Amino acid sequence: MDAEQISEVSRLVAPPPRPQKNGEGSSGSSARPVEAPAAEDTVSLSTEGRRALEGGEPSGNGGAESTTREFDVTEQNQVILKIKEQSTNKVIKQIPSEDQLALRRAIQKGVESLGQNV
């Protein structure tokens, strides 16, 4: 480095500090206010969401008079909710579904067999 480069560095000046607003900086945090989202932000709905929004799919308690809710507790203390059509007693929806229950049983069986092999 030559002397000219060193003197150029010494002439650099830091920018002046920002003026602080009332209460800003007193807590020592560097938090800045969050800006509101832009007006052009959009949300896209899935096909199911659009159908529900347009009224093609019942939501909430629509038709609650024609259905019954049944709670079952299995031997493994799992709670199962069944929503049945009142007139036919047919299961409309089950939470968790039969597929999920079968998967849970298969996983449990696999875990138990691993424990026996150890």
The predicted structure's pLDDT at residue 59: 47
The answer for residues whose C-beta is within 8 angstroms of residue 59's C-beta and 6 or more apart is: 52
Say how many Å lie between the first and final Cα of the chain, rounded: 70
pLDDT of residue 58: 52
What DSSP string describes 79-104? Answer: EEEEEEETTT--EEEEES-HHHHHHH
| pLDDT score of 110 | 94
Q: Are 80 and 94 in contact (CB under 8 A)?
A: yes
Q: Which of 62, 61, 71, 66 lies closest to 94 in space, CA to CA? A: 71
Say what the pLDDT of residue 57 is.
Answer: 47
pLDDT of residue 26: 52
Is residue 9 within 8 A of residue 2, CB to CB? The reply is no
pLDDT values of the chain reduced to their tens digit, one per residue, 118 residues:
555 555 555 555 566 777 766 655 555 556 677 666 666 666 676 777 777 767 654 545 555 578 999 998 888 888 999 999 999 999 999 999 999 999 999 999 999 999 887 6
Q: Where do the H-state alpha helices sit in 28-85?
A: 47-53
